[in-house]
Amino acid sequence: ALREADGLRRRIHNALEDLKGSIRVFCRIRPINKREKDLQDVDVTEIVDSMTVNTQKPSAGTIANEPEQFNFDAVFKPGTQAEVFDTCKDLVQSALDGYNVAMFAYGQTGAGKTFTMYGGAGDNAGTAPLTISELYRLIKQDEDRVQFTIMASMMELYRNELVDLLVPKSGGASPKRKSQNPGSAALEQKLNVRVDKSGAVQIEHLREEECKTAEALSDLLERGNQMRTVCATKMNSESSRSHLILIIRVVGVNKQTEQKLSGKILLCDLAGSERLKKSDVSGDAQKEAIEINKSLTALGDVMESLVKGAAHVPYKNHKLTQVMSDALGGTSKTLMFVNCSPASSNYEETVMTLKFATRAKTITNDVKRKMVAKSKAMPKA
Ligand code: ADP
Ligand code: MG
C-alpha cells in the first residue's frame, strides 16, 4: 500500500509538473510615468530577481511596511519588447507544431497591456507584431517541406457581446456586407460561440481571412484595431473596457506525407481589471464594469481549476472563457502577462493584480505558495 501511495504521489507530481509547463505567468512592471512623478508617486515595486517581485505598501509614518513577495515564471523590469518576446517566441513554433496557444495580458488600465500585446512603432513592437514576424519567418524556413495556410480573425468582447472587427460597420444596413449572415444585419456583427465535439471553438459567422504574407496579417491587425476604436466611440465607451481578441489559425500540410497539422494562436488584450469606481455607481459604466469583472473572474476560475487539475473546468461561465476554451488547458499552451504599474497611487490595484496572477501559479509550486501565504502584510481585498 505504501508503494502504491508513493506511485500515486509521483504521478500527481508529474501531472502537476506538466501543467506547470502549460501555464506560464510573466509579470511586467512598466516605468513610472511623468504624471505620477509630478504627483509625488513613488515606486512601490522591487524586482528582486528574474522571477521575483516585491511590493511594499506605502506607509504614512516612518515605519516601513514589510514587503510582500510574489513569484512568477518571469518578472520583467521596464526593458525592451524584444527581451520579453525572446522568452515566449517558442510558442509560435508550438502553433506550427499543431498546438493551440493563448497569450493574453491582464492588468489595470494604464498598466501596459496594449503596450505588451501590440506596442508601438519600430523597436517598440509588441507581442502580436513580433509573433507575426516570427510566424512567417518559420513558415519560410520550412516551406520546402510544409505547405502552410494562415487564417486570421479579430473580434472584440464588449459587455458579453462578441463583435467582429473585420466586418465594416456603417450606420444602418450595410450594403458592403455580402455576408455570411445576411439575415442579421440589424444585429450588426454579434457572434455566437459553439464548442464542437472535438472541443474546438466555433464562432458562428466570424469572418476569417487568409493572410499569405506578414504584411497582409499586419494590415488585418491594423484594420481590427481601428475598428475597435470606432466601436468604442459609437458605444460611448473606451477601448480599454473591452477584450480584444486576435485569432491566428495555422494549418500545415506536409508535402510528402500529406499529414495535416492545425494549431492556433489566440492573442488577447483583456479589458482593464480595475475595480468599479465610486463614480460609476449607476448606468452603463456600472454595467460595463460588472461584466468585465464577471469575465475576469471566470478566467481566473478556469485557470485555477486547470492548475488544480480539477475534473470540471468552468469554461461555460462566460463568453470570454468559452472563446478561449480550446486554447486554455488540455494540450494547449498558455501564457499570461500580468501588467503592473509601479506607482504608489496604484498600490492596491497592483497587489490585486499580482494576487490574481498568483492564483494561476499557486498550486504548481509549493515553495511559491508558502512564500506568498507567509506574508502578513496583505491588505484586505
Ligand atoms: P493598458 O493597455 O494596460 O491600458 P498601455 O499599454 O496603454 O496600458 O500603457 C500605458 C502607457 O504606459 C503607454 O503610454 C505605454 O506606452 C506605457 N508603457 C506601458 N508599459 C511599458 C513598458 N514596459 N515600457 C515602457 N512604456 C510602457
Ligand atoms: Mg490598453
pLDDT digits (tens, 9 = 90+) for 58-69: 877 777 788 999
Separation between Cα atoms, residue 216 and residue 148, nearest integer Å: 15
Mean pLDDT of the chain: 85
With b for 16 or more beta-carbon neighbours within 10 A and e for fewer, the 303-321 pattern comes to bbbbbeeeeebebebbbbb
> pTM to 2 decimals?
0.86
Tell me which residues have their CB closer than 6 angstroms to ligand 1: 28, 30-31, 78, 107, 109-115, 240, 272, 339
Ligand closest to 118 (CA) is 1
Is the pLDDT assigned to residue 2 strictly greater than 80? Answer: no
60: annotated binding-site residue?
Answer: no
Q: What are phi and psi of 29, to 5 degrees?
A: -110, 125
Of the candidate ranges 54-63, 104-113, 211-220, the one whose mean pLDDT is the lowest: 54-63
User: With 0-12 CB in 10 A as exposed, 13-18 as middle and 19+ as buried, what is 323?
Assistant: buried
Q: Which atom of ligand 1 is nearest to the CA of 28?
A: 23
Is the pLDDT assigned to residue 253 strictly greater than 70? Answer: yes
For a pocket test of ligand 1, which of 53, 115, 267, 269 has the largest count of ligand atoms closer than 8 A to its C-beta? Answer: 115
CB 291 within 8 A of CB 157: no
pLDDT single digits (tens) 302-321: 999 988 888 999 999 999 99
Q: Please count the CA atoms within 13 angstroms of the CA of 347 that sit on its side-chain side.
A: 21
More confident call, 283 vs 336: 336
Ligand closest to 244 (CA) is 2
Question: What stretch of H or E contains 25?
Answer: strand 23-29
Written as one letter, the residue type at 265 is I
Q: What is the mean pLDDT of residues 255-269?
A: 96
77: annotated binding-site residue?
Answer: no
Ligand closest to 116 (CA) is 1
| pLDDT value of position 10 | 59
| pLDDT value of position 50 | 86
Q: Which atom of ligand 1 is nearest to the CA of 111?
A: 3
84 alpha carbon – ligand 1 mean position (Å): 14
123 alpha carbon – ligand 1 mean position (Å): 14
| pLDDT value of position 375 | 38
Q: What is the mean pLDDT of residues 6-16?
A: 57
Percentage of the chain beyond pLDDT 90 is 63
333 alpha carbon – ligand 2 mean position (Å): 23
113: annotated binding-site residue?
Answer: yes
114: annotated binding-site residue?
Answer: yes
DSSP-based three-state secondary structure for 258:
coil
Q: Which atom of ligand 1 is nearest to the CA of 105?
A: 3
pLDDT band at 281 (very low <50, low <70, confident <90, very high): low
